[in-house]
Structure 1
Amino acid sequence: MTIKRVSIIGLGALGILFGQQLAKKMAKADLRFIADQDRINRYTKEGVFCNGEACDFNFVSPEEQVEPADLILFTVKQDGLEQAIQSVKHHVGEHTIILSALNGISSEAIIGEAYGHDRVLYCVAQGMDAVKVGNELTYHNKGMLCFGDKEPGVVSDKVKQVAQFFDSVDIPYEAVTDMLHRLWGKFMLNVGVNQTCAVERCHYGDVQREGKERDTMIAAMREVIVLSQKEGYPLSEADLDYWLTVLGTLNPTGKPSMAQDVDAKRKSEVDLFAGTVLTLAKKHGILTPTNQYLYDRVKAIESTY
């Protein structure tokens, strides 16, 4: 199968960033952005911008009857996942492939329960430093989508089809044969950098150099390493070094999404990050004091909104 029709659900940073790249390479009718009518009206009236460039997106409502998509990309936040699963139902066909670029370690399984695990490829977005304020997205580094099969060592036809498509539309990517390991590694980075920058109200540059912020970030990441080993997806100090290297490539004046949420007084993904860590720590009888501290601090900040 050749991928021709693509549907995106979620017009946050990732949806805009990769959607704009796709829009430049695809026929407008073949790229659909799924949104409820209120959002469509707002996007149409106010516009959507990527690095100062107006985005000419093709919006469809969840109720609209459409031809099934060959590829669906989920770019919502975790608290919007259940609604997004319902919203894409008219876009799922017999041969549809689904990629989830959500943070955390659970979205693929949740989507798979709804539409079949055989449709879902595991995916992480890494290396981008996008900042979204209102309807405007800016970034220095586009980063890439890393995807692959759940089973280690496998390269399925679906992976090959997505890779061929991404080549044709110039989407940076890496086809990975150990995706659960990569998923846990990205989770480890998010637990460290997202929460630390949110609590300390700081930028990437503050955790790229030595100091209290970087120490806090790394301590939180090392707690995930211990849990990953208990859960059967063992990370190591080599993985920590890999993700710190990725972090070092980001624009030092940028901020991760959770710090942007705090700035905008929005509910954050702290339950997805420290909340998951604390749940697993209780399961295994392990202390995770840094994540407990970050969880408590973020909850305290959110209580003031």
Structure 2
Amino acid sequence: MGIKKVSIIGLGALGILFGNHFVKRLPKGDVRIIADRYRIEKYKREHVYCNGEPCDFHYVTPEEPCEPADLLIFTVKYEGLHDAIQAVRHHVGKDTIILSALNGITSEGIIGQVYGLDKILYSVAQGMDAVKVGNKLTYDHMGMLCFGDQKPGIISEEAKSVAAFFDKIDFPYEIDTDMNKRLWGKFMLNVGVNQTVAVYKSNYGEIQREGAARETMIAAMREVITLSEYEGINLTEADLNYWLSVLATLSPEGKPSMAQDLEARRHSEVALFAGAVLYMGNKHRVPTPINKQLFDTIKSIENTY
């Protein structure tokens, strides 16, 4: 049968980026953006733009009965995950494959508790330099989705099906047979990049060149490497260098969502990053002073709202 119908929940940077790519290559009704009535009215009234072009999205409310999706993609912020899980119930059938592009290392397990881990392929979005301001998204590099099975060393039929679909629509991807390590690697990158750029009120360019910001970023990432050993993941300096090479491909003028959140006086996902590092540090009695400093600084900024 193959993948034909795709549903996306969460119209942030990744939701717009993925959705815009899909609607240009698939029948409009086969790409469904799930949102509540209020958001849909706003999207239709103000439009949603990707690199200056209006996006021609097909919106559906969570209440609308529909044919289950072949592929369901979560692109919400973490704080919206539990509501999103309930909102997609009409889109999940017995053969639905679920991808979560959320930051952090916990969303797959949370979704799997409701719909079954057998439906989920672990995934990581990487290499994007998208910036979303209001209803307008701009990017230079689309990046890719890296996905694979929870169990290492295999490529399931579900993974092959998603790969065949992405080949068909020319969507950049990579299959990884050790997704736990990939998820932790992206987590390490987020811990370093997102928080440092937010605290230094800068952009990717600031941490791509030598200086205090880059030193802070790398120190925060090395704290994740230490914790990964206690968690059985065993990240290394080679993994650090890989993710630094991914960072080097991004537009210097771009910035991660956390920096955009603080600029807009929104609460950030610091609990997913430094918060998680501090929790694991306490659990394993491992000091994490750089992440403690980043956490405290970001919280102090948020407390001024």
Q: Give TM-score scaled by structure 2 length.
A: 1.00
Letter of the 2:3 partner, please give it: I
Measured in 2, the distance between the counterparts of 1:88 and 1:168 equals 25
Measured in 1, the distance between the counterparts of 2:218 and 2:202 equals 15
Letter of the 1:102 partner, please give it: L
Letter of the 2:169 partner, please give it: V
Letter of the 2:87 partner, please give it: S
Superposition map of 1:131-150 within 5 A: 131-150=131-150
Output one character per residue of 1:193-248: Cα deviation in whole Å (capped at 9) or x when no partner: 00000111011000000000000000000000000110001100000000000000
Measured in 2, the distance between the counterparts of 1:28 and 1:87 equals 21
Deviation for aligned residue 1:107: 0.3
2:228 maps to what in 1?
A: 228
Measured in 2, the distance between the counterparts of 1:275 and 1:191 equals 10
Superposition map of 1:164-243 within 5 A: 164-243=164-243
Deviation for aligned residue 1:159: 0.1
Output one character per residue of 1:233-276: Cα deviation in whole Å (capped at 9) or x when no partner: 11000000000000000000110110010111111000000000
Measured in 2, the distance between the counterparts of 1:168 and 1:42 equals 32
Deviation for aligned residue 1:177: 0.4
Measured in 2, the distance between the counterparts of 1:222 and 1:148 equals 25
| Secondary structure of residue in 2 paired with 1:102 | coil
Measured in 2, the distance between the counterparts of 1:279 and 1:141 equals 33
Sequence identity (%):
65
Q: Give TM-score scaled by structure 1 length.
A: 1.00
1:65 maps to what in 2?
A: 65
1:77 maps to what in 2?
A: 77
Letter of the 1:89 partner, please give it: R
2:292 maps to what in 1?
A: 292
1:275 maps to what in 2?
A: 275
Measured in 2, the distance between the counterparts of 1:29 and 1:202 equals 40
| Secondary structure of residue in 1 paired with 2:242 | helix
Deviation for aligned residue 1:73: 0.3
Letter of the 2:37 partner, please give it: Q
2:261 maps to what in 1?
A: 261
- Unaligned stretches of 5+ residues in structure 2: none
Measured in 1, the distance between the counterparts of 2:240 and 2:256 equals 18
Output one character per residue of 1:159-191: Cα deviation in whole Å (capped at 9) or x when no partner: 000000001111100011010000000000000
| Secondary structure of residue in 1 paired with 2:41 | helix
Measured in 2, the distance between the counterparts of 1:18 and 1:37 equals 21
Equivalent residues, number? 305
Deviation for aligned residue 1:50: 0.1
| Secondary structure of residue in 2 paired with 1:249 | coil
Measured in 1, the distance between the counterparts of 2:38 and 2:229 equals 45
Measured in 2, the distance between the counterparts of 1:23 and 1:229 equals 42
2:107 maps to what in 1?
A: 107
Measured in 2, the distance between the counterparts of 1:168 and 1:267 equals 38
| Secondary structure of residue in 1 paired with 2:111 | helix
Runs of 4+ with deviation above 6 angstroms: none
Q: What is the CA RMSD across the aligned residues, in angstroms?
A: 0.4
Deviation for aligned residue 1:134: 0.3
Superposition map of 1:32-47 within 5 A: 32-47=32-47
Deviation for aligned residue 1:42: 0.1
| Secondary structure of residue in 2 paired with 1:25 | coil
Measured in 1, the distance between the counterparts of 2:180 and 2:150 equals 6
Deviation for aligned residue 1:192: 0.2
1:48 maps to what in 2?
A: 48
Measured in 2, the distance between the counterparts of 1:109 and 1:229 equals 21
Letter of the 2:251 partner, please give it: N
- Unaligned stretches of 5+ residues in structure 1: none
Measured in 2, the distance between the counterparts of 1:274 and 1:296 equals 9
| Secondary structure of residue in 2 paired with 1:45 | helix
Measured in 1, the distance between the counterparts of 2:29 and 2:210 equals 49
Measured in 1, the distance between the counterparts of 2:71 and 2:184 equals 24
